[in-house]
Amino acid sequence: MVKYCCAPGCLNAWNQNKNVTFHRFPHKRPDILEKWISATKIKNFEANFFAMVCSDHFTVDCYTENNLHRRILKKEAIPTIFKIPTEKLKNCNETEESQQTSSIEISQISQDKIDSNGDIDVLDHKLDILQKSDEDMSCCESAKNQIKDGWFREINDMWPGQHLALKVEEVLSCEKSKYQDVMMLRTSNHGRALILDGIIQCTENDEFAYQEMISFLPLCAHSNPEKVLIVGGGDGGVAREVDKHPLVKQIVQVEIDQKVIDVSKKYLPNMAKGFDSPKLDLKVCDGFEYMKNHKNEFDVIITDSSDPIGPATALFSESYFSLLKDALKPNGIICSQGGTVWAGVDYIKNTLDHCRKYFKEVRYPVASVPTYPTGQIGFFMAALNENADLVTPKLKLSNEDLDRYNLKYYNSDIHAACFVLPNFAKKILYG
């Protein structure tokens, strides 16, 4: 739930057919409210009252006007939202339950504000976030550029001529870390979405497909994956899945960006619960540098990275595969995020060639993830042992196992089937 502080003269504005603007500030944060009050006094404004607003108070409609993202309030929500406290503004930090209130009559609202459905357009839903540094605000400006008419658009030169769009209900967080822009959105149909440097990393609606496949493919292909290294995976999803495997005893995770971890813990608790595993040793550091000092140590290494831009670029290089090889035990297996053959098959071929210089058995399985470009994601999967059979799972999970581990996508049949590629991709990747 988000608290909104009504702009000056709002009640009169309704009667005078004027727009009504709200400024967002965090619930139960009087320190931020005081700063807002001080700022309004400088401009001779006076806050009229406070309103508690949540997503259920809005219709699904969203549009842009004068570079502001506008939402539509439901008519029936008005009596609940707009209540005038009898206490003075200085007591605003008291609980809502202790405030005596009276409702605004709907008849007070101008009929010009009410559409054919009885809904009322009164909210300028701004992306401005109070108490942000200059760097954070530059991230917010970037967000504005990517959200048009209520839709977030992922535009990337790696898949030219197309973009993926998600309808946005709210920008929950927008910050700049030492390494990248970190944004969290609440979407209309896919739950919350984590965005790094303008690229969709996951959505609550379909994240399980990616997390399960990048984890269980290498784990089930290995005969005894006792010690696992996760490189990246700051949302916690891979750790959540690796923790489920019955043979895994120890998990080490290295994530370079603390900000991603913090934002995920706050907004993606179902994924970030992976950080609570007693098997997990989480380290905030550079995975590239970490592996230089850890040789012949891991049974499985999973690289859950973003696309090869920004801090993730090094995780697709030939030198990175050399480090992976050295960090593995003799029968070790790796699995890394690998783009899509529908947009960048030549890049995938080059990366597989890097991998083949250090690994005896190299494969490219795929999975369906609707909110990734082209709806598909592939994986670079490889083994040091030339006789390794990556296609046939060593551990086959029963239906009871799938239910016990809450696996929604991965199963033993999909494990074998995901290595089957269309003819054009098979010819390019395997010759």
Q: What is the pLDDT of residues 287-317, one digit of tens each?
A: 989 999 999 999 999 999 866 555 555 656 7
Tell me the pLDDT tens digit for each residue of 373-384: 899 999 999 999
121 and 157 share one domain: no
The pLDDT score that the predictor gives to residue 79 is 58
331 and 410 share one domain: yes
146 and 265 share one domain: no
403 and 299 share one domain: yes
Q: Where are the alpha helices (DSSP H) in 293-369?
A: 318-327, 345-356
The pLDDT score that the predictor gives to residue 319 is 85
How many independent structural domains does the chain possess? 3
Quick check: helix, strand or coil at residue 2? strand
382 and 254 share one domain: yes
Residue 176 sits in a domain whose CATH number is: 2.30.140.10
What does the alpha-carbon distance between residue 224 and residue 333 come to, in Å, rounded to a whole number?
11
pLDDT at 244 over 70: yes
Q: Which of 94, 125, 156 is the last residue of a domain?
A: 125
The pLDDT score that the predictor gives to residue 162 is 84
304: its two tokens = 């859950």
Average pLDDT over residues 90-109: 36
181 and 114 share one domain: no
Are 206 and 371 within 8 A, CB to CB? yes
Residue 347 confidence class, pLDDT cut points 50, 70, 90: confident
Residue 347 sits in a domain whose CATH number is: 3.40.50.150
Return the active site residues. 304
pTM above the 0.85 mark? no
Are 314 and 288 within 8 A, CB to CB? yes
DSSP state of 431: -
Highest mean pLDDT (candidates 45-59, 63-77, 142-156, 185-199): 185-199
Q: Which of 149, 169, 203 is the last residue of a domain?
A: 203
Nearest to 93 by CA among 27, 46, 38: 27
Nearest to 174 by CA among 211, 147, 204, 207: 147
106 and 247 share one domain: no
The pLDDT score that the predictor gives to residue 143 is 63
Average pLDDT over residues 135-143: 59
Q: In which domain, by residue range, is 392 found? A: 207-430
118 and 140 share one domain: no
pLDDT at 80 over 80: no
268 and 365 share one domain: yes
Q: What are phi and psi of 188, to 5 degrees?
A: -75, -30
Higher pLDDT, residue 53 or 263: 263
Higher pLDDT, residue 109 or 173: 173
- With tokens 């909104």, the residue in question is 4
298 and 170 share one domain: no
Q: Which of 104-118, 178-192, 362-376, 378-392 has the lowest mean pLDDT?
A: 104-118
Higher pLDDT, residue 144 or 110: 144
